[in-house]
Structure 1
Amino acid sequence: MAFLQRESGQIHYAAQGKGEPLLILRGLGRSSRYWLGFEKQLAKVFKVIQIDLRGLGRTSVPMGWADGIDDLAEDCVAVLDQLKIKRAHVFGLSLGGMVALRMGSLHPERCRSLMVANSSSADYPGFRVDPFAVKDIVLGRVRGRLHEALLARTIPSAVAKVRGEDILKQWAAIRDEEGLPLNSVLKQIAAAARFTIRGRLKETTVPVLFLYGTLDGLVPHSNTRRMHRLVPGAALQEIKGASHEIHVGHETQLVQVLRDFCEQAS
Structure 2
Amino acid sequence: MSHAQAADGAALHYEVRGSGAPLVLLAGQSNSHRWWEPVRDRFEAAFTTVVMDWRGTGESDAPDTDTYSTPHFARDVVAVLDHAGIDRAHVYGTSMGGRVAQWLAADHAPRVDRLVLGCTSPGAPHGIERGPAVRKALADPDQTAARAALLDLMYTPAYIAAHPGPFTTLGDPAMPAHARRRHLRASARHDAWDALPRITAPTLVVHGSDDDFNPTANAPLIADRIPGARLLIVPGGRHAYFEECADAATPPVVDFLNARTERTR
TM-score (norm 1): 0.88
Name the counterpart of 1:92: 93
Deviation, structure 1 residue 204: 7.4
The answer to whether residue 37 in structure 2 is matched with residue 42 in structure 1 is no
Deviation, structure 1 residue 26: 0.7
**Structure 2 vs 1, CA of residues 96 and 220 (structure 1 numbering), >3 Å: closer, same or farther?**
same
Name the counterpart of 1:226: 221
Q: Which letter maps to 1:162?
A: A
Name the counterpart of 1:18: 19
- For the residues of structure 2 that align with 1:204 and 1:96, how far apart are their CA atoms? 16
Matches within 5 A, 1:28-177: 28-62=29-63, 64-65=65-66, 67-122=68-123, 124-125=125-126, 127-139=128-140, 142-163=142-163, 165-168=164-167
Deviation, structure 1 residue 203: 7.6
Structure with the largest fraction of helix: 1
Q: Which letter maps to 2:233?
A: E
Secondary structure of 2:214's partner? coil
Q: Which letter maps to 1:3?
A: H
Name the counterpart of 2:242: 247
Provide, for residues 39-73 of structure 1, a one-character-per-residue CA deviation record: whole Å limited to 9, x for no partner.
12221221000011111111114363453211100
Aligned residues: 260
Q: Which letter maps to 1:167?
A: P
The answer to whether residue 172 in structure 2 is matched with residue 193 in structure 1 is no
**Structure 2 vs 1, CA of residues 202 and 262 (structure 1 numbering), >3 Å: closer, same or farther?**
farther
**Structure 1: which 5+ runs fail to align?**
none
**Structure 2 vs 1, CA of residues 89 and 265 (structure 1 numbering), >3 Å: closer, same or farther?**
farther
**Structure 2 vs 1, CA of residues 67 and 233 (structure 1 numbering), >3 Å: closer, same or farther?**
same
The answer to whether residue 237 in structure 2 is matched with residue 238 in structure 1 is no
Provide, for residues 212-265 of structure 1, a one-character-per-residue CA deviation record: whole Å limited to 9, x for no partner.
101113111111221222212111110111110121222233221211111228
Provide, for residues 62-102 of structure 1, a one-character-per-residue CA deviation record: whole Å limited to 9, x for no partner.
36345321110011011111111111000011100011110
Q: Which letter maps to 2:144?
A: G
**Structure 2 vs 1, CA of residues 187 and 265 (structure 1 numbering), >3 Å: closer, same or farther?**
farther
Secondary structure of 1:236's partner? strand
- For the residues of structure 2 that align with 1:40 and 1:135, how far apart are their CA atoms? 36
Secondary structure of 1:183's partner? helix
**Structure 2 vs 1, CA of residues 61 and 235 (structure 1 numbering), >3 Å: closer, same or farther?**
same
- Say which is worse superposed, 32-41 or 213-222, in terms of deviation: 32-41
* Native 8 Å contact 1:211 1:239 kept in 2: yes
Q: Which letter maps to 2:22?
A: P
- For the residues of structure 2 that align with 1:61 and 1:207, how far apart are their CA atoms? 33
TM-score (norm 2): 0.88
